[in-house]
Structure 1
Amino acid sequence: MTTERDMLNLLLDRYTAIRRGTIADRWVRAEHVKSSLGYADGDRIADFVAGDKYGGGHAGEKLALHGHEVKVSRSDWLTELRDPNKAEAIKKYMHHWWLVVPDASIVKPGELPEGWGLLAPDATGKLRAKKSAPRLSPEEPPLAFIISLMSAAARTAHREPLHRDAPVTFGRRYAPHCGVCMTASPCSIHQPRAAADLASSAA
């Protein structure tokens, strides 16, 4: 059975794009972003937020925050539909808002709310847009949300090696390097699985 963790791992992969020969990643990733700081009962959580640093534009007007709601079953999705205000607590700060499901059939025709996009795996297992998320006109986020997002991004960066190895990038002379710290690949900190495999094969 597909879990939320499985879907978050697919989102980590979708929102990773390291420029060749550098550690310049197009995306900033954050899992489980709270709507505010603290432990208030009314806090809402976005399952995943990705910040696009390369949007460009004359004044950065194409930079964007993509928010994601992950649902792994039909019943999970119906529960979300019964409380449409839940997502709005964070969606109002996002430039794009996505529903992420393991199978597009979880969402029946006409159920996707206005302004939402839909992501689901294709035949290769990669997340693809079944319906594009339109660009929204978000509210300016309060400082509490900005700090909450920063905190979630930092936690996510520390957790990533638990779930996947960092991508490989290639420096001068096409030598493989770690896509996070640019040391020779495999890096024992950010690419622990590849490093363990290399040590095992050399033993």
Structure 2
Amino acid sequence: MTTKLDARDVITLLRNHYNAPNRPKGWLFAPEIQAPNSDRRADLITAPLTRSGGSAIIGHEVKVSRSDVLAELADPTKHDDWAKYCDRWYLVVSDPTLVEGLDIPDHWGIMAPPSGRRTRSMTIIRKAPKLSPIGSSDGWMKLARWQTFRADEGLAEAARDVAWKEREADQLRAQVQNLQAAGTRSISPHLQTGLDLINRVSRRTSDEELWGNVDLDAIAAAVVDVEATRRAAETQRREIEALERYLDPARGSLAKHLASAKRLGAQGEIRSAS
């Protein structure tokens, strides 16, 4: 059974189509961006970030239902406020059946989700023809402003992330102190790695290179190792206490036998002397 995709799902597929995960970004990806000198928004505008990608601005209108497609066709000029700055324009549908039997304008390309052996690249049902934008400079200026605004948002988010990581570091330090207070002296390699990273965080919280290289899995492993070590220490302490309680009666009985043996030995020595 095929899962029905919503607009957010389709945008995610488009993101992977233009910028493969774990690879350098080759496209500026601007969803829900307002057109220059207009309140109209495009569902997505993309533009190349590398020389090899050229200079074409590509617009996308995402539709996830037949009624949405019909509404768009009823007023095909709705997207003109952005399309006039674009070199190509795509109608992106969540399922190819949404456009079956419909007369799609010739200057629109049609995209659909990956199909067949495709796992990342979108299916191009019809390639968008080259358009003649009235001038792409306003489009590029809008994209530059949008990117700058997003960069400022990213810096603010990074600052919040740093503060959050500092709180995590404080919590980990508190766990380590509690563990040391409980009498556990040995520190595992995972915990030592976590402590080293925390020290680096404390010294260089604003260093972007540090955050690019930090291994969060090592910190998580260190926290888990702290908890596991503490539990092991507590279990061992309980077992020793239980063993001591078990041995207490035996020690008492042994002490009585030893005292009796000493008395008997002393009496034997006295008889021998007499």
Q: CA RMSD in A?
A: 3.4
State the 1:142 CA deviation: 6.3
Spell out, residue by residue over 1:136-163, the C-alpha distance to the aligned partner (whole angstroms, 9 max, x if none).
12111464x544433444566768x9xx
User: Which is helix-richer, 1 or 2?
Assistant: 2
Report what 1:129 is aligned to. 124
- Counterpart of 1:5 (choices 8, 24, 28) is 8
Report what 2:242 is aligned to. none
Structure 1 distance, partners of 2:128, 2:214, is 36
Q: Secondary structure at the match of 1:137?
A: coil
Structure 1 distance, partners of 2:56, 2:7, is 24
Q: Which runs of 5+ in 1 are unaligned?
A: 162-180, 187-194
Structure 2 distance, partners of 1:70, 1:14, is 14
1:150 equivalent to 2:153? Answer no
Residues 200 and 47 of structure 1: is their aligned pair in 2 closer, same or farther, counting only changes over 3 Å?
A: farther
Which aligned runs of 4 or more in structure 1 are off by greater than 4 angstroms?
17-20, 154-159, 195-198
User: Which is strand-richer, 1 or 2?
Assistant: 1
Q: Secondary structure at the match of 1:94?
A: coil
Question: Structure with the greater relative contact order (CA < 8 A, sep ≥ 6): 1 or 2?
Answer: 1
Structure 1 distance, partners of 2:219, 2:125, is 38
Q: TM-score, normalised by structure 2?
A: 0.50
Residues 54 and 199 of structure 1: is their aligned pair in 2 closer, same or farther, counting only changes over 3 Å?
A: same
Number of residue-to-residue matches in the alignment: 164
> Where in structure 2 are the equivalents of 1:80-91 lying within 5 Å?
80-91=72-83
Q: Does the 8 A contact of 2:10 with 2:113 survive in 1?
A: no
Q: Does the 8 A contact of 2:66 with 2:99 survive in 1?
A: yes
- Counterpart of 1:45 (choices 41, 44, 48) is 41
Report what 2:29 is aligned to. 29
